[in-house]
Chains A and B, each alone.
Chain A
């Protein structure tokens, strides 16, 4: 009786482990199948835009007041992470704010756009993500590379898209992923190096830009119309601006964020 009980328990334990291992594998297979299905689904035809009428919107994003000193990151827990590293929560040079995502939030109506066949790249280098803020169209491929001599894990934590978590050893082949739903400031982190954080912005149109180190941005090819332009900063939040662009217009729209 005693022996039977023990044998049954050990058997159940082994079965449980095998079952969970199987579940885990199945999940991965299902998710890759789902990605393939999405890739295979035919995209709706893009709404034609007259190239002779398109406008350009550009400008500078500034920050009112003194930007906080970037926090120093301690990377000593992994010897492969060399060099200095500062937090990129707010990057401002002489009041010019970098890493602000600017996109046409409203006004495009039911227009559809071709998804670029070219992938955008995220590079893990010096235990940092490059770029820190990324814009991508829904369904567009993202190629994730690891140039470090250490293993990273890439873990997006979306609200509206599917969450995943994959590790990537040094010299491993790039990981290709895409997100199917629009989502702004989708956080991506590495659980092995907890300071590593970036944001992906998934949008439906190609009308977006990220401000450079001098706070400048430019959005090209916008058809004439009334739009809401959104400026999103990971810490300072979102500010919107209503604009009207005429045919062949070159409009300057600046924005200033106040320190919270």
Chain B
């Protein structure tokens, strides 16, 4: 937290003492690029996973961790197998990349919390692999399949955050700070955005995996739209001078609009037109996969915004201090 003691509006100013943690490691271009590649690879993995669900191919390879009895042989890639096995191969590569990233971060990054973040990512990808296996072995139970879908996007957010924390701006630049005197604070709104998006992710995953009706997801979309618009407008109207806050806020709004349109399309193609379809049809597959992919981007953008707000827009203690000053002190 950051205190404004004179009670006057403060200009944006670099504060060295607040976030020196970010300066305690030298910029490592290789590590940052590797983290960025992992984040992109994870996004590809999310698309591959969404293709499995949309094509109803989740059980086309009936065994796990082997595929048709083998750990390394590539099966005949036809029908549902091409979706499921491609997903498994991309996931294996993501696991390998995460192991490398965790080791690299542990050795190269001087920030202790980053070392543990790398290990956290590794733990998450292992848990994700186990959930993926369990959902195959237990014939896609909705809670496990939904947990697999939610953890996938959690892992994506982690990789995006690692890419951000290893980036030159985070490591080398002194952050521009503008204290927040408004209530609710921007950090509160940013965290609320992540929360409603996460709820939306779980509701969407439960519907997609036949564990729930579609209406809670559609109803919560309204809440998501309100909270995200509020957050983005607050960020843009008060802190647009800070590039690190402005950019994710604009992206958040753009992705929100895209996601609402895709959600409507997915509803039309799957719920309205596709409920009687004899096989997954292309419009349904494209719209639902795009909805999942943009949803992942939206959640990651909300996480980046919250991180940048925490860094650049610390909560000002001005009002509580002012109140305290005016309270009569008993003799």
Interface residues of A (CB under 8 A from B): 2, 5-6, 9-10, 13, 16-17, 20-21, 23-24, 27, 71, 73-74, 77-80, 87, 89, 150-151, 153, 155, 157, 163, 165-167, 191-195, 197
Residues on B with C-beta less than 8 A from A73 are: 278-279
Chain B interface category by residue count: 35 or more
- Docked Cα-Cα span, A13 to B95, in Å, equals 11
B62 lies within 8 A of A153 (CB): yes
Select which of B59, B106, B277 is within 8 A of A153 by beta carbon. Answer: B59
Q: For residue B115, which residue of chain A has the nearest CB?
A: A2
B262-295, CB < 8 A from A: 276-280
B324 within 8 Å of A (CB atoms) = no
Count: A-B pairs, CB below 8 Å: 88
- Sample 19 A-B pairs with CB under 8 A, ordered by A number: A9-B119, A10-B99, A13-B126, A20-B64, A20-B65, A74-B279, A78-B78, A78-B79, A89-B276, A150-B79, A151-B76, A153-B59, A163-B139, A165-B139, A167-B61, A191-B59, A192-B78, A194-B56, A194-B57
Q: For residue B280, which residue of chain A has the nearest CB?
A: A194
B57 lies within 8 A of A165 (CB): no
- Docked Cα-Cα span, A191 to B56, in Å, equals 6
Q: Are A80 and B78 CB-contacts (below 8 A) given A71-B278, A73-B278? A: yes
Q: Are A165 and B62 CB-contacts (below 8 A) given A16-B126, A74-B279, A194-B280? A: yes
Q: For residue B56, which residue of chain A has the nearest CB?
A: A194
Interface residues of B (CB under 8 A from A): 55-66, 68, 75-76, 78-82, 84, 99, 103, 106-107, 119, 122, 126, 130, 133-134, 137, 139, 276-280
A191 lies within 8 A of B63 (CB): no
Given contacts A151-B75, A155-B139, 5 further A-B contacts (CB under 8 A): A21-B66, A24-B65, A77-B82, A191-B56, A193-B79
Q: For residue B62, which residue of chain A has the nearest CB?
A: A165
- Docked Cα-Cα span, A166 to B139, in Å, equals 11
Q: Are A194 and B59 CB-contacts (below 8 A) given A9-B122, A79-B78? A: no
Q: How far is the CB of B134 from chain A (nearest CB, A)?
A: 8
